[in-house]
Amino acid sequence: MPHPNDPSLRSFVPVDPSSDFPIQNLPYGVFSARGLAPRVGVAIGDFVLDLWELEQDGRFGFREIGVFSQPSLNSFMALGPKVWSSTRARISELLRADHPELRDNEELRQQALVPMRDVRLHLPITVAGYTDFYSSKEHATNVGVMFRGRDNALQPNWLHMPIGYNGRASTVVVSGTKVRRPRGQLKPPNVELPSFGPCKRLDFELEMGVVVGQGSAMGEMLTEAQAEAMIFGFVLLNDWSARDIQQWEYVPLGPFQAKAFATSISPWVVTRQALEPFRVSGPAQDPVPLPYLRQTRPNNYDMALEVGLRAGAMNIPRTICATNFKYMYWSSVQQLMHHASSGCAMNVGDLLGSGTISGPEKSQRGSLLEISWNGTEPVELAPGVSRTFLEDGDSLVMRGGCQGDGYRVGFGEVEGTILPAE
Ligand code: MN
């Protein structure tokens, strides 16, 4: 059987070369259509393959479990990496142009292939815990220069471990969910006492989210191989941030309400296996990390990422950032090894935000804080329309993907529109 990443594979489902969802991708999501309950599906071209229909028809080896009838991927993820791998190979086989099983079964095909335009996409996982890291050296340096000056930009701990904080799983939402402007305590530097009101400096953060598909026991440390094997896949992630709330509250324990009101993720989870051909080395790490954080393999990915911003009156978004996931200083595998290193248990469904992904160039900055340099350099979106931070009605869209030879392994998009504060 050909490997599911084989670039020469073609599906009997027509897929445009510019599509994010060729047969080499097969990302998982949760969808509903035809008035039926949400279930697990896979994106292929402009269709969603209904895995519950196929499971009920006995096309997978685990009919009795009903993992694909669930409104989240957690039950499937809990089955582990061997099942992820064999299932992906089986789905690839079922969709192949040279495999007649589904191709020539018109009744099953009609049941199992649903046009993407007819489905509603849901949050793909039940988020067990959400942790956000701060692993782009360029982002941490930009923020440090703005707030502490060039000489103290990176904190002394930054080059020694992936810095992170425990965020809120309760407000992780799927793309398309409207985001209400948060309220909080505000105390601009020039006033004496704080007031409570709507955030005035609302921002996005371009990130990737790691979906953890296997747990680890409390007290257990993880090797590089163990950490990698626990990663089920990746999503696009927008870590919405209230900069004014953050600036007043973050001392001394870090972000709290400034990041807790919403985090948006893409509906499709691209598997680690589909990204395998795009593995690259990250930046050289100097100083060499402590032994428990050392990695022997290239654990970064060559993945182009783009952010578009559409102000109320504009028809299409204007690109305000184009960068790459490969710039991240600390890899997802290192983040996971560090996370478990104290004895912290990891759970199926944990979500790890990479941290804002900025690159070395000005056009590669992954937040408005950096793009507008803390509000001092407005970005022009259209004639007469400029922004320093997000305004009500603005729509923010992130896209991303890896370019293969004649195909593209993409994530679709994560979109969010700002509603006025209540
Ligand atoms: Mn963040």
**CATH assignment at residue 44:** 2.30.30.230
List, by residue number, the catalytic residues.
Answer: 139
**Closest by CA position to 239, among listed 203, 268, 272:** 203
CA dihedral 387, 389, 391, 394 (to 10 degrees): 80
Residue 12 Cα, ligand 1 centroid: separation in angstroms?
A: 40
Same domain, 168 and 117: no
Encode pLDDT of 208-227 as tens digits.
Answer: 999 999 999 999 999 999 99
**CA–CA separation, 127 vs 293, rounded Å?**
25
Asked whether residue 155 falls in the same domain as residue 238, the answer is yes
For ligand 1, the distance from its centroid to the CA atom of residue 205, given in whole angstroms, is 6
For residues 49 and 161, membership in a common domain is answered with no
Amino acid at site 24: Q
| Cα–Cα distance list, 331 to 230, 273, 279 (Å) | 14, 16, 11
How far is residue 259's CA from residue 134's CA, in Å, rounded to a whole number? 13
Q: What's the 239 CA to ligand 1 centre distance in angstroms?
A: 5
Give the model confidence (pLDDT) of 289-314 as tens digits.
999 999 999 999 999 999 999 998 89
Would 76 be classed as within a structural domain?
Answer: yes
Neighbours of 379 (CB within 10 A): 17
311 shares a domain with 273: yes
Q: Of 78, 94, 122, which one is at a domain's C-terminal end?
A: 122
Same domain? For 91 and 113 the reply is: yes
Together in a domain, 249 and 379: yes
Residue 18 lies in a domain: no
Task: Assess whether 246 and 310 both reside in one domain.
Answer: yes
For 95-123, what is each residue's pLDDT tens digit? 999 999 999 999 999 999 999 999 999 99
Write down which residue in 106, 122, 138 finishes a domain: 122
Which of the listed residues 122, 141, 163 is the one where a domain comes to its end?
122
Helix H or strand E segment including 181: none
What is the count of structural domains for the chain?
2
Give the per-residue pLDDT at 64: 67
Whose CA is closest to 232, among 346, 326, 323?
Answer: 346
CA distance linking residue 302 with residue 287, whole number of Å: 24
Whole-structure pTM value? 0.98
Query: Which amino acid appears at position 53 of this protein?
Result: E
Domain with residue 212: its CATH number is 3.90.850.10
Give backbone dihedrals phi and psi of 398, rounded to 5 degrees, phi first: -115, 140
